[in-house]
Amino acid sequence: MHVGIVTGRDSFADRIDDALGDEPERTASDDARSVIDAGPTVVVADGEHAVTDLVRSGVSVPVLPVDSGAGVESVSPSDIEAAIDDLLAEQWTTVDRPLLSITVDGEHVARALFDTTLVTSEPVRISEYGVRIEDEQVSQFRADAVVVATPVGSQGYAHDAGGPVVQQGSDVLSVVPVAPFAIHVDNWVLRGPVTLTVERDEDGVELLADDHTVRPVEPHQSVEITFDGALDLVSVESSRRFFQG
């Protein structure tokens, strides 16, 4: 076994190092790409940002998230030693969580585990957004932003904006306007692919994938969001919760 560790905290890396003992090879860095390039068989990710960095870097081995939010099989930092013991004893399984593929006018620009968002680049400004499935217009509204979340991401920013928590394994996306200008604006649970557009050229709009700014989006460019691929997550006893297994 070769254990990769993505963390910016020396103290956390030292705890994992002590728990691993002398036997397994390990590579620790705050740079996800360098950890992946070392060829680990499993990666421990310290925090949500480490998980999303691994997704952007194209990780293809199982990931054990630690303190990474409610939407993933996340281990509490206080349980990391027990989780490492389970890894070494091979008392673990994997669950897969779907990833989003995001294209702008047909060009692939990003992948995401949790969500993707169109948001005005200037604070306290609104824009007008359209939501479409295939050739059917779902809605058009003015808002600060619009977020499209996977079931994993439905417990995070989308839920804070008023969206539902979607059961893991559901093949649907939640689409949630953020701070809409009108009082009564719906949110939706839809089967993908979902297409977003910016309908008015008033303020700059940026595309975000998870916690990363991808690029500006111009009016009437098509942002298509669909499921494509999956992230394998390590499941140990201390990480199993309702909606996660």
Which is nearest to 168 in space by CA: 186, 185, 150? 150
The residue assigned the tokens 């995070």 is 156
Q: Please state the domain count of the chain.
A: 2
Say if residue 12 is in the same domain as residue 92.
yes
Contact criterion met (CB below 8 Å) for 144 and 159: no
Q: Is residue 54 part of a domain?
A: yes
Contact criterion met (CB below 8 Å) for 199 and 146: no
The residue assigned the tokens 């479409």 is 132
pLDDT single digits (tens) 38-57: 999 999 999 999 999 999 99
pLDDT single digits (tens) 99-145: 999 999 999 999 999 999 999 887 667 899 999 998 899 999 999 99
pLDDT of residue 229: 94
pLDDT of residue 192: 81
pTM (predicted TM-score):
0.91
Domain with 116, as residue range(s), is 99-229
pLDDT of residue 211: 87
The radius of gyration of the chain's CA atoms, rounded to the nearest angstrom, is: 19
Say if residue 205 is in the same domain as residue 133.
yes
